[in-house]
Amino acid sequence: MSNTAAKSVVLVHGGFVDGSGWDGVYQILKKDGYDVTIVQNPTTSLAHDVTVTRRAIAAAPGNVILVGHSYGGVVVSEAGTDPKVAGVVYIAAFAPDAGESVSTLIANPPPGASVPPILPPVDGFLMLDKAKFAASFAADVRPSLASFMADSQVPWGVAALEGKVSAPAWKVKPSWYLVATDDKMIPPPAQRNMANRAGATTVEVVGSHAVYVSNPAAVAKLIEQAATSVVKN
């Protein structure tokens, strides 16, 4: 690892899951010498999740590559303006502009796009239909793990879904984006549009929405590319 590279990586999960899905990526990054923090977002509201993420950034040594999956992209867009953040990486993630939220970004899906099997909210929280979780979220994850992910879902707060970004990090920080070409949660065309708008260095990987679980090597490769591309302050 270059002396000018960012040495810390902070990984932010999305809705319906917790940070354990980053295990494969974590193991690769640790082996390659990075300091890695996995944020356990409560996914109750965007403000709460940004607070938890900023706390992790503050505790990480040196400059940080901030990585978000899915809804985690909204979190890192808001938290990534932190001075310690050297670059932002989006993994099949939402990359909202100012005033946008997950709710606004999914309001008008592309024609023919898959509709995520989100159940009606209960007490202000959302869940995915367990029977349809694997097909929509983790089609290329081994069945036993996909089943576990479905049965261990973290309720996703409607307030988090509706949380609007104030000043997106991608406007002021270098960014990278991994498009998952078989994603059934965030349509690949929408991913490409957000990546292009952000001016992100973009790669495409064959994979489901859970590409960070099914193909950690590809995800870690992009994160390390980001880390070695930024110059330490």
Encode pLDDT of 122-132 as tens digits: 999 999 999 99
Evaluate if residue 2 carries a pLDDT over 60: no
Which residues, 6+ apart, have CB-to-CB distance to 28 below 8 Å?
A: 216, 217, 220
Confidence of residue 139 (pLDDT cuts 50, 70, 90): very high
State whether residue 191 is helix, strand or coil.
helix
Evaluate if residue 63 carries a pLDDT over 90: yes
Evaluate if residue 159 carries a pLDDT over 80: yes
| In the chain, beta strands by DSSP E | 8-12, 35-39, 64-69, 85-91, 125-126, 156-157, 175-180, 201-205
Residue 35's φ and ψ, nearest 5 degrees, are: -85, 125
Mean pLDDT of 223-232: 87
Dist. CA 232–CA 115, nearest whole Å:
42
The pTM score is 0.96
Evaluate if residue 111 carries a pLDDT over 90: no
Confidence of residue 204 (pLDDT cuts 50, 70, 90): very high
State whether residue 136 is helix, strand or coil.
helix
